[in-house]
Amino acid sequence: MSVDISDTIDAVAAEALLGKAVDWKQYDGLRVTSHTSGAVYLVMWGQLHWIPDAATFNSVFKDWNGIVNSDYIVDNMPKALSLAPGSFIAISGASPAWYFVTLGKKLHIPDPATVNRFNFRSPISLPHLALDYIPTGPNVT
* Residue 128 belongs to a domain: yes
How far is Cα 141 from Cα 114, in angstroms, rounded to an integer? 7
Same domain for 69 and 93, yes or no, is no
What is the span of the domain harbouring residue 102?
88-133
Same domain for 27 and 72, yes or no, is yes
Q: Is 99 exposed, middle or buried (0-12, 13-18, 19+ CB in 10 A)?
A: buried
Last residue of a domain, one of 33, 54, 76: 76
* Residue 7 belongs to a domain: no
Which tens digits make up the pLDDT trace of 29-42? 999 999 988 899 99
Which residue type does 131 have? L
CB contact at 8 A, 109 and 100: yes
How far is Cα 28 from Cα 47, in angstroms, rounded to an integer? 8
Indicate the pTM of the whole model.
0.83
Residue 3 has pLDDT above 60, yes or no: no
HEC string for 63-109? CCCCCEECHHHHHHCCECCCCCCCCEEEEECCEEEEEEEECCEEEEE
Last residue of a domain, one of 33, 50, 76: 76
Domain tally, the chain: 2
Same domain for 37 and 65, yes or no, is yes
How far is Cα 130 from Cα 95, in angstroms, rounded to an integer? 13
* Residue 14 belongs to a domain: no
* Residue 109 belongs to a domain: yes
One DSSP character per residue, 13-48 reads: HHHHHHHHHS-GGGGTT-EEE-TTT---EEEETTEE
* Residue 113 belongs to a domain: yes
Helical (H) or strand (E) element with 52: none
* Residue 102 belongs to a domain: yes
CB contact at 8 A, 108 and 139: yes
Which tens digits make up the pLDDT trace of 9-62? 676 776 666 656 789 999 999 999 999 888 999 999 999 999 999 999 999 999
